[in-house]
Amino acid sequence: MPKQHYSIGFASSMFQTSGPRCGDSDWTEDARRGGVPDSTQPKPLWDNIDERLDRMKDVGANIFRISIEWSHVEPTPGHFDEAVLAQYEHLIDGCIARGIQPMLTLHHFASPLWFSEKGGFEREENIQDFVNYCKTVFSRLSAKVPLWCTINEPAVLAMMGYYLGKFPPPS
């Protein structure tokens, strides 16, 4: 009988684990206005990260999809926060040390507030901001991370955000 291959994985997004404490994004702004539910006040992903990774390893996890929070990495246009990038690198190193393959998502619904305020993805001239962010993160982390996702659930983002107006960016 052939050996079965299976994966046990986890996934996180900074907004889902940290709420409005994760940076100035269109989602944190919407939460401040009462649009995005924020009743649970979860602990930030970074709290006890080594313990969390140990638990993942203990249950047999072999993959962890991590969504990078753009507003945390690039809080103002063109300024990339070295300390935040180092946190992500520490998280990736922790995964690798435990035999958990990291997978990174570059955009998980939330955009920096500064990007949304200038029209976000609806304005073609803004796309270069996203490209610069992606290039910066990729050049920093690609040597350690083999799996990448550019935009988490793009159809959901388009439908819920731009068509129905249920997700930020506000329409």
Q: What is the pTM of this model?
A: 0.81
**Helix and strand totals (H; E) in the chain:** 8, 4
Burial of 83 (0-12, 13-18, 19+ CB in 10 A): exposed
Rounded CA-CA distance 44/60 in Å is 23
> Alpha helices of the chain — where are they, by DSSP H?
14-18, 26-32, 49-58, 70-73, 82-97, 113-117, 127-141, 154-156
pLDDT in tens, the chain (171 residues): 566 566 888 887 776 666 555 667 666 666 666 665 554 444 556 677 899 899 999 999 999 999 899 998 999 999 999 998 998 999 999 999 999 999 999 998 888 989 988 998 889 999 999 999 999 999 999 999 999 999 888 788 778 777 777 777 644
Question: Which CA distances in Å does 33 have to 99, 117, 167?
Answer: 41, 15, 13
Q: What is the CATH number of domain 9-163?
A: 3.20.20.80
The residues spanned by each domain of the chain are: 9-163
